[in-house]
Structure 1
Amino acid sequence: MAERQPTPAEFNQFVMDEFRANGGRVGGMFEGAPLVLLTTTGARSGRPHTTPAVCLRDGDRVLVFASNAGGPRNPAWYHNLLADPRVTVAIGTGDGGIETYAAEAVPLEGDERDRLYAVQSGLDPAFAAYQAGTTRVIPVIALNRLDSRPGIRAR
């Protein structure tokens, strides 16, 4: 008898539990990949939703990619952050800790989006395959930390 495969929600929960238990590090298919836990506010429900996402540091900001594994539609978290760009980011500190902070999500466009997606694809060829497997342009989102900007306080 074949073992039941986890649902996407079950898989994400497993990754998030492992992330929290191991200071931002996980094994399996994401072993060695930099991850964040991204919490958005549901566009319809108004409730918080957290999902793991591969990330790329770019100076003071963190980038995430709405790849949805190359699926035909953007992931739900992307629609949520378009409705409310204030998000919460949890990221490993590299020394076994996890830092959590408020950020503003800003979708990148044009040459900046293309350049940074190419950087990510060079670091992780799966991202090139994701883009090749869909007709949509996979969004790249900058997560700009709020508490580091003058005059803006984290909520």
Structure 2
Amino acid sequence: MAPPGLRFVQKVSSTRTFARVAPHVIPAMDRAVHRLTRGKVLLSAQMLPGVILTVRGARSGLPRRTPLACMPEGDPATGTWLLIGSNFGRPGHPNWTANLMAHPDAEISWRGEDVPVTARLLGGQERKAAWEAALKFWPPYAAYQERIDREIRLFCLERRRR
């Protein structure tokens, strides 16, 4: 059973109002705090684990930094991270997903460590299993999927050697 504060945050984060406001507020706050703490703190990670994804832009080729919630899997030293392209339940895919599809070699800042990763878009049974795990991890993803026509993209990030 989730603590009452967590259930409240999950309920709020499932609303359309949150979907309109959060994409403008949360990433800006996360970037600022992350920069000020030299990569050690993400405000949104107080509720969900988070990373700063750095990936080249699909069209520009320029580095793009995006704070994202993630679902770490396995041992952090050798494990993987699941990224969910929910876009807070808004209609279009988030830009970072197109960037990863165009340039799967990226980097994440995870708990103050810069980690080189390779992204893989999940499909089929692998996606189905990951989606079920994501819903257990953060139930509001179900509300996000219900109000959009697109299938939310899921990516597995795997640590790669430098």
TM range (shorter): 0.7 to 0.9
3-state SS in 1 of match to 2:70: strand
- Where does 1:115-154 land on structure 2 (aligned, <5 Å)? 115-147=129-161, 154=162
Residue number in structure 1 paired with 2:93 = 74
**Corresponding letter in the other structure for 1:76:** N
Residue number in structure 2 paired with 1:101 = 115
CA contact (8 A) 2:23 2:88 kept: no
- Aligned to 1:19, which of 16, 34, 40? 34
CA contact (8 A) 1:71 1:134 kept: yes
Structure 1 residue ranges without an equivalent (≥5): 93-97, 148-153
Quote how far apart the aligned CAs of 1:10 are: 5.8
- Aligned to 1:40, which of 49, 55, 80? 55
Quote how far apart the aligned CAs of 1:13 are: 2.5
Quote how far apart the aligned CAs of 1:45 are: 1.1
- Aligned to 1:51, which of 56, 66, 85? 66
Quote how far apart the aligned CAs of 1:64 are: 0.5
Deviates more, 1:103-112 or 1:118-127: 118-127
- State how far apart, in whole Å, the 1-side matches of 2:82 and 2:22 are: 26
Q: Percent identity?
A: 31
CA contact (8 A) 1:25 1:32 kept: no
TM-score (norm 2): 0.76
TM-score (norm 1): 0.79
- State how far apart, in whole Å, the 2-side matches of 1:119 and 1:24 are: 25
1:105-137 superposed Cα distances (whole Å, 9 cap, x missing partner): 101111111111121111211111111111111
Residue number in structure 1 paired with 2:103 = 84
Deviates more, 1:135-144 or 1:10-19: 10-19
- State how far apart, in whole Å, the 2-side matches of 1:102 and 1:15 are: 20
**Corresponding letter in the other structure for 2:118:** E
Quote how far apart the aligned CAs of 1:63 are: 0.8
CA contact (8 A) 2:29 2:43 kept: no
**Corresponding letter in the other structure for 1:127:** Y
Structure 2 residue ranges without an equivalent (≥5): 1-19
